[in-house]
Amino acid sequence: EAGVAQSPRYKIIEKRQSVAFWCNPISGHATLYWYQQILGQGPKLLIQFQNNGVVDDSQLPKDRFSAERLKGVDSTLKIQPAKLEDSAVYLCASSLLTGGPYEQYFGPGTRLTVT
Amino acid sequence: SQKIEQNSEALNIQEGKTATLTCNYTNYSPAYLQWYRQDPGRGPVFLLLIRENEKEKRKERLKVTFDTTLKQSLFHITASQPADSATYLCAPPTTGANNLFFGTGTRLTVIP
């Protein structure tokens, strides 16, 4: 079974520029998550989708971050404009369903450096 | 608000010994808890799930315990090997139980 795919793997941008990350979850997984992981910390949830609807975006900085999952499959996370503190690894994960003890499958992440 | 504490940022042990990692939680009572492994440059990988009515769960050389009285989960790796070196993350569900809340992790190094 193919895993969670993410691209790009690395991105370097200057502050105030915009950037987009793409994620393709495991086939058949209804739930998709975007996490931000700052060096030395655990993953922090940014947004969670169930099919193409948002379940939780309470920690998403909505003034600069946006995400969509239009057809309930792949997803895009965008940052515009980027700040220095956005430098982190952005992880995408998927699970079969939501609201229960379902294990999450993570992609390799995108390492973003904002200069 | 809920809080997760993993015992230390780093733990070094000798090959062959048992590694014990601690996860303490406060301000709520999760119905289950998951443990993940993360290698440098990679996403976390699920290892084990333990529910509140289970005292202990085992998988090969891994063992997890869940003490709801102490509000603590212990993660053990027996007969540790250098390949076990990684960061281990504790993840109970959030209070709404729709997703997971990850601890900061413990970086384990097994010395040959």
Does a structural domain hold residue A115?
no
In three-state secondary structure terms, B82 is helix
Q: What is the pLDDT of residue B97?
A: 66
Q: What's domain B3-87+99-111's architecture?
A: Sandwich (2.60)
Q: Is the pLDDT of residue A1 over 70?
A: no
Domain extent, residue A66, equals: 5-110
Does a structural domain hold residue A83?
yes
Q: What is the pLDDT of residue A107?
A: 98
CATH number of the domain to which A68 belongs: 2.60.40.10
Work out the angle at residue B49's Cα, subtended by the Cα atoms of residues A89 and A100, and round it to the nearest 5 degrees: 80
Q: What is the pLDDT of residue B35?
A: 97
Residue A74 Cα, gap to closest chain B Cα (Å): 18
Which two tokens mark B9? 């940022």
- Asked if A103's CB is within 8 angstroms of B49's CB, the reply is yes
Does a structural domain hold residue A68?
yes
Residue B107 contacts residue B38 (beta carbons within 8 Å)? no
CA dist A99 and A104 (Å) reads 12
- The stretches in chain B having pLDDT less than 70 are 97
Percent pLDDT > 90 in chain A is 89
Q: Which residue has the higher pLDDT, B93 or A99?
A: B93
| Closest CB to A106 among B44, B93, B104 | B44
- Asked if A45's CB is within 8 angstroms of B99's CB, the reply is yes
Q: Which residue has the higher pLDDT, A85 or A98?
A: A85
CA dist A33 and A13 (Å) reads 23
**Using one digit for the tens of pLDDT, what is the confidence trace for A41-85?**
999 999 999 998 999 999 999 999 999 998 889 999 999 999 999
- Judge whether B45 is closer than 8 Å to chain A, CB to CB: yes
- Asked if B99's CB is within 8 angstroms of A55's CB, the reply is yes
Number of domain units in chain A? 1
